[in-house]
Amino acid sequence: MTSAASDKVFAGSIPKIYQTYLVPLIFQSYADDLARRLASRPVRSVLEIAAGTGVATRAIASALPASAEIIATDLNQAMLDEAAAGAMPRTVEWRQADAMQLPFTDGAFDAVVCQFGVMFFPDKPKAFVEARRVLRKGGVFLFSVWDRIEDNGFADAVTAALSEVFRDDPPRFLARTPHGYHDRTSIARDLAAGGFGGPPEIVTLARRSRADSPRIPALAFCQGTPLRSEIEARDAGRLDEATDAAEREVGRRYGTGTVEAGMQAHFVSVHA
């Protein structure tokens, strides 16, 4: 399997590890922020794309009135299964769907939201065309993307550690995909190509990421993301070694007890 293909596969034990370790480590605070921004708008119907294990879905479901319809989709059924198994404050419809070809009618939603999923879309203008198509006139598209990997300490530390473990062919999933779509000009250009006429509002949000030990970021990234597939493609027997190396590098940079690092993302909003 090529890197481009494996980057978007979340299967096996990845969804459970992702939900257990990665969600509280880097996703929860941004999900709460997205939900607050969405709740400030009068929306009756919301489509979430690339919902993953539902961290933003739960925040949105808590923030919006009970009368608002929420449909949450993801390409990976295993991620939706993990999401649906968790507690949800209200009814949400879960559907497997490809953001590149959404199974919904034109103008069906007041808002389309996507937390940290846009980076995985192989053809971003095409995905934006779909988001624009299913929005009503005046509807809003809200999404977040990670900033440069250098501004996200734990991800940078893990990537550096793996470059030492696999010197001849270092795994670059984190830099290539989650942190590979941070240029504001490119984002604005792709949105315009997707049919959004007005300029987007792009706000950079800095946060702090905390964990009880260096093991947690190492396990979260090495075994709870498609980085695991990239490691195992090089040598399936070295996953634990790679995770241990990541733990040591996180500890070297941030200490051996409770660890804390900076993280940074862009929040994008644009109207149809």
Tokens for 28, please give them. 């929860």
- When pLDDT is cut at 50, 70 and 90, the band that residue 12 belongs to is confident
CB 135, CB 109: distance < 8 Å: yes
Contacts of 256 (CB under 8 A, 6+ apart): 213, 214
Tokens for 47, please give them. 């489509």
pLDDT > 90 in the chain, percent: 92
Q: What pLDDT, on a 0 to 100 scale, did the predictor assign at position 11?
A: 58
Tokens for 245, please give them. 């190396």
Q: Is the pLDDT of residue 8 over 80?
A: no
Q: What pLDDT, on a 0 to 100 scale, did the predictor assign at position 9?
A: 61
CB 10, CB 79: distance < 8 Å: yes
Q: Mean pLDDT, to the nearest integer, of 153-177? A: 97
DSSP at 19: I
Interval 141-153: pLDDT, tens: 999 999 999 999 9
Q: Mean pLDDT, to the nearest integer, of 187-212? A: 97
Dihedral Cα 272, 134, 7, 214, nearest 10 deg: 70
Q: Is the pLDDT of residue 70 over 80?
A: yes
Q: Is the pLDDT of residue 227 over 90?
A: yes
Interval 25-41: pLDDT, tens: 999 999 999 999 999 99
Determine the Cα–Cα distance for residues 208 and 189; give it in Å rounded to an integer: 30
Determine the Cα–Cα distance for residues 97 and 126; give it in Å rounded to an integer: 15
Q: Mean pLDDT, to the nearest integer, of 166-187? A: 97
Q: What pLDDT, on a 0 to 100 scale, did the predictor assign at position 2?
A: 44
Q: What pLDDT, on a 0 to 100 scale, did the predictor assign at position 103?
A: 98
Nearest CA among 183, 179, 116, 184 for reference residue 148: 179
Interval 99-110: pLDDT, tens: 999 999 999 999
Interval 87-98: pLDDT, tens: 888 899 999 999
Neighbours of 91 (CB within 10 A): 9
Q: Mean pLDDT, to the nearest integer, of 154-183? A: 97
Q: Mean pLDDT, to the nearest integer, of 43-48? A: 97
Dihedral Cα 121, 126, 130, 131, nearest 10 deg: 60
Helix ranges (H only) for the chain are 3-6, 14-17, 28-39, 55-63, 77-85, 124-134, 153-165, 173-176, 184-193, 215-223, 227-234, 239-254
Domains parsed from the chain with CATH numbers? 3-271 (3.40.50.150)
Q: What pLDDT, on a 0 to 100 scale, did the predictor assign at position 226?
A: 94
One DSSP character per residue, 20-78 reads IIIIIIIIHHHHHHHHHHHHTS--SEEEESS-TTSHHHHHHHHHS-TTSEEEEEES-HH
Helix (H, G, I), strand (E, B) or coil at 178: coil
Q: Which of 46-55, 77-86, 123-132, 183-192 bottoms out in mean pLDDT, i.e. has the lowest?
A: 77-86
